[in-house]
Amino acid sequence: MNRGQMEKVLVTGASGFLGSHICEVLHDAGYEVHALVRKTSNLQWLQHLWIHIHTADLFDSRVLENLFVDLDAVIHCAGALWGDYDRINVGGTQAVSRAALNAGIKRFVFVSSLAAGGPSRGPYPRNEGQSDSPISPYGYSKKRAEEYLETVQDKIDVVILRFPMIYGPRDAQALRLFKTYKYMINPSIGLRRRYISVVYVKDAARAAVKALQAPVKSGSIYNISDGKNYTFNRLYKVAGKVWGRKALRIPVPFDLIMFGARLINDVLNGKTAFNPEQMGMFRERFWLISPERAIAELGWRPETDIHQGFAQTVRWYKEHNWL
């Protein structure tokens, strides 16, 4: 599908970290943007945009179908990093995609995760042709959502994007990394090196918009990352350069990290991404994905390297008094 066929786009989870950036990229590209939010959503990242705001629940099928009738595409960004994974990540995806199908939506872009594929085989980034082996409740929920979309891909045009850790302005999760460095501490997860892929949020948002436009087969899955492999120690070193200071590297045994995750999880009643299920993923040392297929087929490529991305992120944190 080309740009001319995709004028009106709805984004679920639009008030969130990635969703708000997707709305911004769509808006700046000239799309008519419709943002789906909850009654309790904070709209601070959307207020500067000339877009349509709709308040509805993911499971309000009649409301969604009526809303979708005049639209061209949906980017389903809403999801849960903690709590009821099955209800939100699986059930929510089923409900939104059914409403999109019934309303005649042309393309459905699903924001998934590398967790749906599982860890990579050693230091070799996963590609989309490898068999999936999720290991966490979150990963299983994203995989089940993908499997449901496979059952309807002949009826609605589906594109699935698998993201690694996304960082950038407005991100409360990556803020922890920069806060520890502010106090000159570099905690290292476990006693062995762990490798991850990452992507800057603007690059992630551009990938979602490219997925609207690319003439690709329904059901296609694409890994999105900046194409580099990082150890956590490497990320902290880059953060140190941004801060202009060195921090004390402190290896923390994995069991102690899990204890802390359980404690924080209990205190916050499960309302945190720093929970045992998510942190348990790092028992595996390699979470690497290759974006080569996305670069070849979506007409997308990452534009922001880790040094630029971290610098822009820290600048934003400081400007908004997060650091």
What is the 3-class SS of the chain, one letter each residue? CCHHHCCEEEEECCCCHHHHHHHHHHHHCCCEEEEEECCCCCCCCCCCCCCEEEECCCCCHHHHHHHHCCCCEEEECCCCCCCCHHHHHHHHHHHHHHHHHHHCCCEEEEEEEHHHCCCCECCECECCCCCCCCCCHHHHHHHHHHHHHHHHCCCCEEEEEEECEEECCCCCCCHHHHHHHHCCEEEEECCCCCEECEEEHHHHHHHHHHHHHCCCCCCEEEECCCCCCEEHHHHHHHHHHHHCCCCEEEEECHHHHHHHHHHHHHHCCCCCCCCHHHHHHHHCCEECECCHHHHHHCCCCCCCCHHHHHHHHHHHHHHCCCC
Mean pLDDT confidence for 97-112: 97
Q: What is the pLDDT of residue 277?
A: 61
Sorted by sequence, the CB contacts under 8 Å of residue 182 that are 6+ apart come out as 243, 323
Beta-carbon count within 10 A of 101 CB = 16
Residue-wise pLDDT for 150-192, tens only, equals 999 999 999 999 999 999 999 988 887 777 766 666 666 655 7
Asked if 155 and 219 touch (Cβ cutoff 8 Å), the reply is: no
pLDDT at 233 over 70: yes
Residue-wise pLDDT for 10-62, tens only, equals 999 999 999 999 999 999 999 999 999 999 999 999 999 999 999 999 999 99
Phi, psi of 121 (to 5 degrees): -85, 95
pLDDT at 80 over 70: yes
Helix axes 92-103, 61-68, angle to 10 degrees: 40
Q: Which residues pair with 159 in a beta bridge?
A: 109, 220
Q: What is the pLDDT of residue 187?
A: 65
Rounded to two decimals, what is the model's pTM?
0.90
How far is residue 21 from each of residues 170, 199, 238, 272, 305, measured CA to CA in Å?
9, 13, 24, 21, 18
- Which range, 6-10, 51-55, 234-238, is most confident? 51-55
CATH of domain 3-170+197-227+286-304: 3.40.50.720
Residue-wise pLDDT for 287-313, tens only, equals 999 999 999 999 999 999 999 999 999
Task: Name which residue leads in pLDDT, 261 or 215.
Answer: 215
Q: Return the percentage of the chain with pLDDT > 70, whole number.
A: 83
Mean pLDDT of the chain: 88
Token pair for residue 146? 């993908």
Sorted by sequence, the CB contacts under 8 Å of residue 216 that are 6+ apart come out as 159, 297, 298
Token pair for residue 107? 């393309």
pLDDT band at 1 (very low <50, low <70, confident <90, very high): very low
Q: What is the pLDDT of residue 211?
A: 98
Q: What is the pLDDT of residue 189?
A: 63
Residue-wise pLDDT for 246-277, tens only, equals 766 766 665 666 555 566 555 555 555 555 56
Q: What is the pLDDT of residue 190?
A: 58
